[in-house]
Structure 1
Amino acid sequence: MPKVAMPPNFLQQLAELREEVAALRRSGWERDELPFYPTSLHGMVYEDSTSLVTLWETILSPRTATLSLGLVFIGDVVSATNTGGNWQVLANSTDVVASGTVPATFSYQFPALTIDLTPYRALTLLKVQIQVQRTAGATTGGKYGGGGSIGGAPRYARLL
């Protein structure tokens, strides 16, 4: 008696494919997690300078079209005086691709950015920097003696 191969169940295959697509959508389409490295002169992720100073940076190969970047910033409190400032993200050491403020409210700010990397696709290496500066607050005392500080860090960085 010949053996007959049963055709695969179409509905079962369709259900499996739908589950795989749903799992991909839930996980996002991340290609690569990107590490950032601290560069503050104080060796910590706080800076009390009144000019823009790089807190974090990384060098990447721009193989993808987008960098999804989540940041966190907070100002300092010195003798009941809140510190505020500005932040910016530089690409290629000169191009400001995103910027914002750190209000003098002693509350966390969580900017989420999507940076277009297509202008840099021809480069083999691209430097991305996160910079901060203090614009308001105490001018003496604080974490390092030069006044209030601005703290900042990347929460996530994904090449999409």
Structure 2
Amino acid sequence: MNPNLKPSDQVALLALMNPISQAAATVTSGWVSLSKCDSILAILQTGVLGTGATIDAKLRQATSAAGASAKDISGKAITQLVKADNDNAQVMINCRSDELDVNGGFTHVQLSITVGVQASLISAVILGLNGRYQPTDHVATVVEVIE
């Protein structure tokens, strides 16, 4: 580990879903290439969930940035969050590049979040870790990194 590297050089913000009161529906992040990172960490955050609301989330994989041949990544779905227990909760999903169907040419990952029953406050980020080349590029909406 190099103590001269800044944390912002070692962890890249690759995708985000800005905080929103999301109606009952499925929403997805953009497709993220794992060509520059060995692994990702998807973080889902909830605020106050609507009455009777449920939240499901999973990682999906594709062979291109356009989502070609998209399918779920085995073992990368959360236990359903429910209003009774999960206001203001966080969930983390780890995924290494070798957990994709690499033999099938799968190279991209997407976070899919399904809000059920009632609108609920959610947000999410996908962080890239263990960059193959550093510093790793952040999503274009990052406007400033303080040294």
Q: TM-score range with shorter-chain normalisation?
A: 0.5 to 0.7
Cα gap change, 1:111/1:103 in structure 2, threshold over 3 Å: closer, same or farther? farther
Aligned residues: 115
- Residue 84 of structure 1 is matched in structure 2 by 54
Give the Cα–Cα distance (whole angstroms) in 2 for the partners of residues 58 and 32 of structure 1: 20
Is this contact kept in 2: 1:85–1:150, CA < 8 A? no
Of 5, 8, 20, which residue of structure 2 is paired with 1:46?
20
* 2:122 matches 1:151: yes
* 2:35 matches 1:62: yes
Is this contact kept in 2: 1:63–1:121, CA < 8 A? no
Is this contact kept in 1: 2:24–2:114, CA < 8 A? yes
Residues 39-80 of structure 1: CA deviation (Å, up to 9, x unaligned): 6xxxx44363434221x224325366x4131413215345xx
Cα RMSD, aligned residues only:
3.5
Code of the aligned partner of 2:32: I
TM-score normalised over the length of structure 2? 0.55
- Residue 72 of structure 2 is matched in structure 1 by 96
| Higher relative contact order (CA closer than 8 Å, sequence separation 6+) | 2
Instruction: Give structure 1 stretches of 5+ with no counterpart.
Output: 1-22, 139-147
TM-score normalised over the length of structure 1? 0.52
**Identity over aligned residues, as a percent?**
9
Give the Cα–Cα distance (whole angstroms) in 2 for the partners of residues 45 and 121 of structure 1: 36
* 2:89 matches 1:108: yes
Q: In proportion to residue count, which structure has more helix?
A: 1
Is this contact kept in 2: 1:89–1:131, CA < 8 A? yes
Pair member with larger Rg: 1
Is this contact kept in 2: 1:82–1:106, CA < 8 A? no
